[in-house]
Amino acid sequence: MKSVVLASLCCASCMLFFNAEIASLVADEKPKVNRTRFYLATPEGKDPKEFYVAEDYYNTGSPSFSPDGTKLAHDCWKSQEGESFSNVQILVVNADGSDSKVLGPGAMPSWSPGGNRIAFSQPSPSGVAVMNADGSDRKMIDTGGWGAQWSPDGKKIAYRVYSSGKSNLRIYDLIEDSKSDVFPEGESPYSLIYWNMAWSPDSNWLCFLGRNAADKMFEVATVNVAGMKEGYKVHYKSKVSPYQDMAWHPSGEMIVFGSDTQPRQLLKFNPAEDKPPEPIEIKVDANINGDVCFTPDGLHLLFNTRDK
């Protein structure tokens, strides 16, 4: 009888020790983090191929090619090490994936047409700023701004601000050193305008995602930067937010953005037409994330994915 009791106690002790070891291993095990990757495809979604992976950064987005197409800038953070957007950095890499360089804190890089400077947003101190393409000589433009995008003609930088309780688009004129808002004071339809808006190739229009203050719907719209009275059009409405990144093709005839559906698709539309956006058929063994841009020659669409 004693041997049976001793055997039972021994088994119980072993089980407790085994369970404690398992619990310790589980506690030490870091949750799996699926990394992002950049792909290139034709504007129609054909021939998608993996283009670039930032080895040290599992979260990458907001891609932007330099005007000559030789470099790619994007934002990133080490989500595999527990970092979040508050740790965001701007990284520049050659178009062949070589010679990557971290320029410092910042997000949503946007090249000047000459390729010598970059407009960007920074979380702390918060605002929109410009710097040299090597990360030096940082200068704040507006502490109340977010999501700076340099116009193709090099004369303006657009970004989001809040004014009179609404979200507005502000245009910083680099020639005149002046600032003006696209929607008249107090008349913006939007409670929120998102980041990663896109300029038209002629630098006269912006495409953006906003949330309508009246009906709470999300809208993909275009507006003339001279003011909404010069032109304003809603191209897509949804109860659920589409992805917050827009890409305008160099021809001016196509805008691409990420859908509000899961799994996410990329949608395209011609801003000159009254047709709803239609999906771009892209087949990749990954989940489309939604960050997009075109190569300067317009021959390819860059988009990011997240591993399954």
Q: What is the DSSP letter of 32?
A: P
- In single-letter form, the type of residue at position 281 comes to E
Say what the pLDDT of residue 31 is: 60
d(CA 92, CA 64): 9
Residues facing 232 on adjacent strands:
223
Say what the pLDDT of residue 30 is: 53
Exposure string for 267-288, b = 16+ CB within 10 A, e = fewer: bbbbbeeeeebeebebeeebbb
DSSP string, 227-295: -GGG-EEEEEEESS---S-EEE-TTSS-EEEE-SSSS--EEEE-TTS----EEE----SSEEEEEEEE-
Per-residue confidence band for 9, with pLDDT thresholds at 50, 70 and 90? very low
pLDDT in tens, 67-82: 999 999 999 999 999 9
Using the structure block, give the residue that is written with the tokens 């309780």. 165
- pLDDT (average), residues 277-306: 98
Per-residue confidence band for 32, with pLDDT thresholds at 50, 70 and 90? confident
| Full-model pTM | 0.89
Say what the pLDDT of residue 33 is: 84
Percentage of residues in the chain having pLDDT higher than 90: 88
Nearest to 61 by CA among 305, 308, 307: 305
Residue 10 has pLDDT above 50, yes or no: no
The answer to whether the beta carbons of residues 89 and 106 sit under 8 Å apart is yes
The answer to whether the beta carbons of residues 92 and 137 sit under 8 Å apart is no
The answer to whether the beta carbons of residues 60 and 36 sit under 8 Å apart is yes
